[in-house]
Structure 1
Amino acid sequence: MGRGLKIAWINELALPTGGAERYVRDTAQELAARGVRSFLFYEVKASPVPSPAMLAPFEGGFPIIDLERQLRALAPDVVYVHRLSGLAAPYALSALPYPVVRFFHDHRMFCLREHKYTALTQTPCQRSIGAACYSCLGFVCRSETWPGVRFASLRKLRAEQTVARRHEAFVVGSRYMAEHIAAHGFDRSRIHVLPLYARVPPPPRVLEPRREDLLLFVGQLTTGKGLDVLLQALTRTVHPCQLHVVGRGRQEEKLRALTRELGLADRVHFLGWLEPEALSAHYRRATCVVFPSRAPETSGLVGIEAMAHATPVIGGTLGGMGEWLAHGQTGLGVPPNSPDALAAAIDQLLGDSFLRSRLGHNALRAFEERFRPEHHVSQLLTVLESLAGEGRMSA
């Protein structure tokens, strides 16, 4: 199954910086074990020096120069698109005879701000794009160039959606995301819900015991991930605890400053990005993972990774997270933007060893039943092989 299938992967970054890139790298490696040949095309401006670790599972890695010509030379069976901005590359894909699959990892094409929470109140948003995006100032976006802001356009976003709808298939990691893109006019019959998975490094021969006072946060240090809410919650907890923060992001200095302002410098430790083996050790050591996102997550890979280590999760159940975080079964659900509710949930878990054990056991069982790599990869391979046999809809 899959032997000889040739896949052209397209992703802006050839650097292992986020969940989408980790998915691209890991899934290409899983497919290679089944005989699939994979080739990565990336944006040279985004990745002037691609990561050897990112390119390792691919037979070739190529900066995008003339995508249409490059793909015709490769002649793949299927093109698998991930993060890709603008219209030029998608237009080029529509002119080719190869079937195209698009994985929607995030809300970039479905929110002017890309983050799916309002600009003024930081309230989660689950609406389709429209005039309301202007009332929340969603068109005002951060820019790395002067004057530090840019203005997003509904017209441009809708044009990107129009081109993307021409693809033969769409992959999402949750039922929530399937409904969300369907609400934007994407054909439900071509949407495939393939829950994400976690790859767990082999455990060491001697396991460190879990600490009963250690919380773990893993994710980008951005406003949407809600670390500020967790820091506020730590000033309200009764049970003494420590927090390890794994990740980096543009809000890191601001969050470090907030940590000091709240008097938490001796309890909160910023560890930066960690390699999978080191991160796995932190999952195994932690009492729980706290996932305080204020944005609707399209899936929430960090939570699935925690479950693979029998580590319960405290977090919101917005978006796709509610499809693996079952309150009182695999973790504890809390409303977004509520330090008081989050603090209460943390105290509940820290104060009840039986509850921790039960939630961790249930979390691991749910992972084994639904979120192992072979579950996702087998379904994905079925989709890819079917498309390779059928060809382009317009062909």
Structure 2
Amino acid sequence: MHVLVVHNRYSSAQPSGENRVVDEEVGLLRAAGHRVDVFERRSDDIAARSLLGKVAVPLLVPWNPPVRAELTARLRDERPDVVHVHNVFPLLSPAVLAACADAGVPVVATLHNYTQVCPPGTLRRDGRLCTECVGTKLALPAVRHGCYRESRAATVPLAVSMSLNRRRWWTGVERFFCISAAQRDILVRSGMPPERLAVKHNFVPDPGSCRTGPGEHLLFLGRLAEAKGVRLLMAAWDEIAAGGGVGVPLVLAGAGPLAEEVTAWAAGRDDVRYVGLYDPAQCREAVARSVAVVAPSMALETFGLVVAEAMAAGVPAVAAGHGAFVELVEAGVSGLLHLPGDAASLASCLRQLAGDPGRNREMGRAARRRYEQGFSPEVGLERLVEGYRTAIAGRSGGAVGAPPVGNKGAGSRRVTRAGGDGGSR
């Protein structure tokens, strides 16, 4: 199968889970014998533009005519079987869908967030869940509140794009990949065509080894931001420390707007270590040495890469009991779910996992089984190619036989991890 992947890469200033997912899927498909080419733009390139070029970027968010022309020419020249669209913000735009229609090539799109129904894609405003724009034709509430980067001016291009291109997305894409059932439910309720929405969880490369022993620390690995539950975790840990601790330290790895606050909070403490950004190898090692991985997100996450990575290493997770986490973590079996936004509930879960090594080991083994059944490269490849086949058959009316899947055994080849956790704009 010949696949063209379309992606606007996020800034390298912060690790992007979305960039990593794209890279790993490309590697997985190539390892299985498929031809995969990439059509991309990089947000890093904006800094090198002239002043006029930078000013023009917001105007290209809803529609970028040169991208349409360039991609149409490439599609007509290369004739891929299917185009897989990921992120189009800010330099590609939904003009890529018009190019695919011009060339008659079927499209699948992975929905990594909620940008189809919420301009910033987060379903959050002022630290709380917000669905004011869900189900509306005009995203005026987002503009009024300045939901993207707390700026009305910055939000306008996203709101305009969402409103003007809604029908183009919903009719121009044969198959949408939702990365969790929780995400799909919200999108269906917003009015998106349910027959085009399929759940395809992200896969995680097998780290090659699992945790041995009880673990040395509790680990938060991700973006240091309010939405990720960092302040909630600090409050829960202070409660634990006031009660005498749990015998292992808390390690926080990552970067973000709360980095200075976390640094000050951790300073001079023996029970907390803030280690900054880890590279991929350090991430794998830190996960494999964990008593548990902590994912206390305040947001309705569409997935949870760090939870899936923990399962791959045979490590249980403590996660917020909402969004995708409720389908990733089997509560009481492969990890624990705490009440979202509740520091006392989070503290209780951390105490339970750290205070019962026998139960922790059982949960770790269950987590590994869960990974093998739902989030391994073999499963990821099968679901990815199945989605491509469906899109191709849908465009051809089912009259043309689907292309071969390729060598399934190749899907188990290890894929090099690229990037870190994260993925916000």
Fold conserved (TM > 0.5)? Answer: yes
Corresponding letter in the other structure for 2:389: E
Q: Which residue among 3, 10, 13 is the counterpart of 1:7?
A: 3
The 1-side partners of 2:10 and 2:77 are apart by 21
The 2-side partners of 1:318 and 1:126 are apart by 15
Question: 2:111 — aligned with what?
Answer: 104
Question: 1:91 — aligned with what?
Answer: 98
C-alpha displacement at 1:335, in angstroms? 1.6
RMSD, matched Cα: 3.1
Q: Which of the two has greater helix per residue? A: 2
CA contact (8 A) 2:225 2:256 kept: yes
Cα 1:35–1:352 shift into 2, 3 Å: same
C-alpha displacement at 1:314, in angstroms? 0.7
1:357 partnered with 2:364: no
1:175 partnered with 2:181: yes
CA contact (8 A) 1:14 1:42 kept: no
Question: 2:61 — aligned with what?
Answer: none
CA contact (8 A) 1:245 1:269 kept: yes
Corresponding letter in the other structure for 1:21: N
Higher relative contact order (CA 8 A, sep 6+): 2
**Worse-superposed segment, 223-232 or 12-21:** 12-21
CA contact (8 A) 2:146 2:152 kept: no
**Worse-superposed segment, 195-204 or 165-174:** 195-204
1:334 partnered with 2:338: yes
Question: 2:169 — aligned with what?
Answer: 164
The 1-side partners of 2:294 and 2:192 are apart by 33
Corresponding letter in the other structure for 1:8: L
Cα 1:113–1:264 shift into 2, 3 Å: farther
Question: 1:369 — aligned with what?
Answer: 373
Question: 1:20 — aligned with what?
Answer: 18
CA contact (8 A) 1:317 1:335 kept: yes
CA contact (8 A) 1:200 1:308 kept: yes
Question: 1:231 — aligned with what?
Answer: 234
Q: Which residue among 25, 29, 32 is the counterpart of 2:30?
A: 32
The 2-side partners of 1:14 and 1:225 are apart by 18
The 2-side partners of 1:368 and 1:126 are apart by 35
Corresponding letter in the other structure for 2:332: G
Deviations 1:208-243 (A, max 9, x none): 64435x111111222211111111111000324322
Deviations 1:71-122 (A, max 9, x none): 3222211000001124433333333310010100112232234222232xx2
Cα 1:292–1:126 shift into 2, 3 Å: farther
Question: 1:247 — aligned with what?
Answer: 254
1:129 partnered with 2:134: yes
C-alpha displacement at 1:367, in angstroms? 1.3
CA contact (8 A) 2:133 2:141 kept: no
Q: Which residue among 278, 281, 287 is the counterpart of 1:277?
A: 281
Task: Give the TM-score normalised by structure 2.
Answer: 0.77
Deviations 1:244-298 (A, max 9, x none): 22222343234334x25xx675433333333333212111111100000000111
Question: 1:379 — aligned with what?
Answer: 383
Does the residue aligned with 2:250 lie in a helix, a strand or coil? Answer: strand
Cα 1:248–1:390 shift into 2, 3 Å: same
Q: Which residue among 211, 215, 219 is the counterpart of 1:216?
A: 219
Identity between Structure 1 and Structure 2 (%) = 25
Equivalent residues in 2 for 1:112-151, closer than 5 Å: 112-119=119-126, 122-125=127-130, 129=134, 139-143=145-149, 150-151=154-155
Question: 1:294 — aligned with what?
Answer: 298
Corresponding letter in the other structure for 1:279: C
CA contact (8 A) 1:77 1:388 kept: yes
How many residue pairs get aligned? The number is 367
Does the residue aligned with 1:41 lie in a helix, a strand or coil? Answer: strand
Corresponding letter in the other structure for 1:164: W
Does the residue aligned with 2:195 lie in a helix, a strand or coil? Answer: helix
Task: Give the TM-score normalised by structure 1.
Answer: 0.83
Cα 1:124–1:72 shift into 2, 3 Å: same
CA contact (8 A) 1:245 1:270 kept: yes
CA contact (8 A) 1:11 1:83 kept: yes
C-alpha displacement at 1:377, in angstroms? 1.0
Deviations 1:338-372 (A, max 9, x none): 21211121112222112212221211121122221
Cα 1:385–1:249 shift into 2, 3 Å: same
C-alpha displacement at 1:133, in angstroms? 7.7
Corresponding letter in the other structure for 1:183: R
